[in-house]
Structure 1
């Protein structure tokens, strides 16, 4: 099967920053533009210049750089927004302007309080103004597209294409889409735009389906996925770059697509962002969680020590992380025996039992135990000189 490349559009610096507590300074946004660039994404949305001076300056400074991913600037389809964006982008080479458009009846009638004809006119005028002010790469961000009728989508998309739009963005703004509805929508949009223009998708995670919806979009033929590091963003956040990347890495043959990024840098940048923004990471979060590559159950430890593939599908080394073991009441004797054997100690079954009992006592008292502690216990119980032990990662209860 011939595999397609899925381009990554990272919006950590725009949508990701919108979540409470995620505000970034100019220096911090510039720092993470470089960090995200080092991961190898294709587009980075740096901000909304009209909304605040910080975003204006960040976009202005980045526009001078020549060796970088495509810089994306967020804008409403108004003269004021497009003029401001044009003024701050000194060099428009390799720059995309994303226009925010209302497409659902709910947004058109309740939010904007105008008609579909007005929405179409706004689309046309926005594209014309963008071209007039020097933007050659224009994407249409179809806000609330997951609740829009096909009639609305068709009218606005066709108007945008006719007046120079290059990319159509299906936005699940309130996170209400499901994989089946995404499949239907992406295929419908593709039928309108053909293969000469790109289809992009932006998902929110309000129902916990952002990653599943992104996978559905890939299988339906989308060209670009909009993501954020750690899935940060408005309300419940967006499609997490580290999660959808892992899926494409291990399932590329099944889905006929791949993402070309630096996987080894991904977790490191996520950890740094989480620390800078003081974002607590769930221990069981895929790829970046503390427990993502830590094993405690004795049955699992036993299998992994024989062959890691027995209980390991996602490899920690692929993401710059390490396998580790955690000693708990569920761990049994396997880990203890392994550490002792690797240090030329061959305990009897009775000795293992005594070491295990002592280790459990220490765990309950101090809440943690390290690999070297097993040798120390052996020495105390059986009088043997302790030797250095290998690094088995964090061992705790």
Structure 2
């Protein structure tokens, strides 16, 4: 099985925002207890930061933040807050000041300044600088500048906002492609420019959305251009089409780390457990074709694939099920061939019998309709039944 650790390469910091961006999507609201359970499941994977929520938004988020901050032992807690002193004060009351990444939202585009906020660039910058300074005055160890809609902001808006925020005490800059509007080359170029504006010690984090299906590609482009951290969610849940999927990011860092030039210390075997906890909490149906978490991600029905995999799984399996706490499965449907029947008969200790193989194939495989499949246990039962059928010779 693939070695999931690689100490020689610098690691990407993993920031999980399932409990904040993921939860704020329609239908995803959770109770305090559910958020706490999920926070601990995500921490067990080995993420570096768990974003608990938006403490000023509701008593549930405040209490969840308080309990999560007290429960985490290896990961840091994070919150997101408006650039308002009362929000910052509540965040400190809920999450404390140690190992708390206190995020201050900033308006990153003229579109948002005009149509959402109705304020000037100078006013927007002043409120953010004040909130960051106030957070530092309360003893916050880590303060994050979280720039909403940064991907549609111009350099003459973003650069002074970032530079003044760092002077005020921000140690992390989150570059949000809030509308999912960028291509990887565009987003990478934006991260590269920001990297050139800030001190080397400043953490740059990606926050990408999936509106055009590019969130992971954009996040990886950001890492290649100098980002240190990726904000992501389990299953990619989040606003509209969602966010960067943390399981896909981890898969890339496990299997393509040399190409990316970065690694992860995450423990991917715990991902499925965490995703199952999320599904239970928000009533999310299991997708069929999602990478890593899809029902069919490690399943095959096609005969030509099964014939190869029965000889050596590597013929069609690059990403290994066991690495992610999953099991490889072979399902038998009308696209399956005879190889899987022979395989099961061999496991049953039966001598080669093409008449039996053809009978099982004709009566139970080739004619299956409606997408129905059976697993190998079902196939074994079918073979056992057919062994007793009239006219079948068994040697």
Q: Could you say which residue in structure 2 is the equivalent of 1:263?
A: 268
Write out per-residue CA displacement over residues 239-274 of structure 1, whole angstroms, 9 at most, x where no aligned residue. Answer: 111111111110001110112111000012112311
Deviates more, 1:73-82 or 1:273-282: 273-282
Q: TM-score, normalised by structure 1?
A: 0.92
SS at match of 2:388: helix
| Contact in 2 for aligned 1:26/1:55 (Cα 8 Å) | yes
Q: Could you say which residue in structure 1 is the equivalent of 2:155?
A: 150
Write out per-residue CA displacement over residues 177-217 of structure 1, whole angstroms, 9 at most, x where no aligned residue. Answer: 11011110110110011311100010111111111111211
**Is 2:235 the counterpart of 1:227?**
no
**Is 2:64 the counterpart of 1:58?**
yes
Q: 1:63: how far off?
A: 3.1
- How has the CA–CA distance of structure 1 residues 358 and 50 changed in structure 2, closer, same or farther, with 3 Å as cutoff? same
Write out per-residue CA displacement over residues 334-389 of structure 1, whole angstroms, 9 at most, x where no aligned residue. Answer: 0000110122212333332122112237845994431322422441332659xxxx
Q: TM-score, normalised by structure 2?
A: 0.93
**Is 2:88 the counterpart of 1:86?**
no
| Contact in 2 for aligned 1:146/1:173 (Cα 8 Å) | yes
- State the alpha-carbon separation in 2 of the partners of residues 299 and 64 from structure 1: 53
**Is 2:250 the counterpart of 1:242?**
no
| Contact in 2 for aligned 1:123/1:159 (Cα 8 Å) | no
| Contact in 2 for aligned 1:336/1:374 (Cα 8 Å) | no
| Contact in 2 for aligned 1:271/1:288 (Cα 8 Å) | no
Write out per-residue CA displacement over residues 96-119 of structure 1, whole angstroms, 9 at most, x where no aligned residue. Answer: 100000011111222111211112
2:35 to 29, 36, 39: 29
**Is 2:110 the counterpart of 1:105?**
yes
**Is 2:201 the counterpart of 1:196?**
yes
| Contact in 2 for aligned 1:96/1:136 (Cα 8 Å) | yes
Deviates more, 1:169-178 or 1:77-86: 77-86
Q: Could you say which residue in structure 1 is the equivalent of 2:216?
A: 211
Write out per-residue CA displacement over residues 31-77 of structure 1, whole angstroms, 9 at most, x where no aligned residue. Answer: 11111111110001101111100111112223334623111111111
**Is 2:355 the counterpart of 1:350?**
yes
Q: Report the count of equivalent residues.
A: 384
* Structural mapping, 1:1-397, within 5 Å: 3-65=9-71, 67-89=73-95, 91-360=96-365, 363-364=368-369, 367-369=372-374, 370-381=378-389, 382=392
**Contiguous gaps of at least 5 residues in structure 2:** 1-5
Q: CA RMSD in A?
A: 1.9
- State the alpha-carbon separation in 2 of the partners of residues 105 and 287 from structure 1: 38
Deviates more, 1:66-75 or 1:139-148: 66-75
Q: 1:153: how far off?
A: 1.0
| Contact in 2 for aligned 1:71/1:96 (Cα 8 Å) | yes
**Contiguous gaps of at least 5 residues in structure 1:** 386-397
Q: Could you say which residue in structure 2 is the equivalent of 1:395?
A: none
Deviates more, 1:245-254 or 1:80-89: 80-89
Q: 1:281: how far off?
A: 2.6
| Contact in 1 for aligned 2:333/2:372 (Cα 8 Å) | no
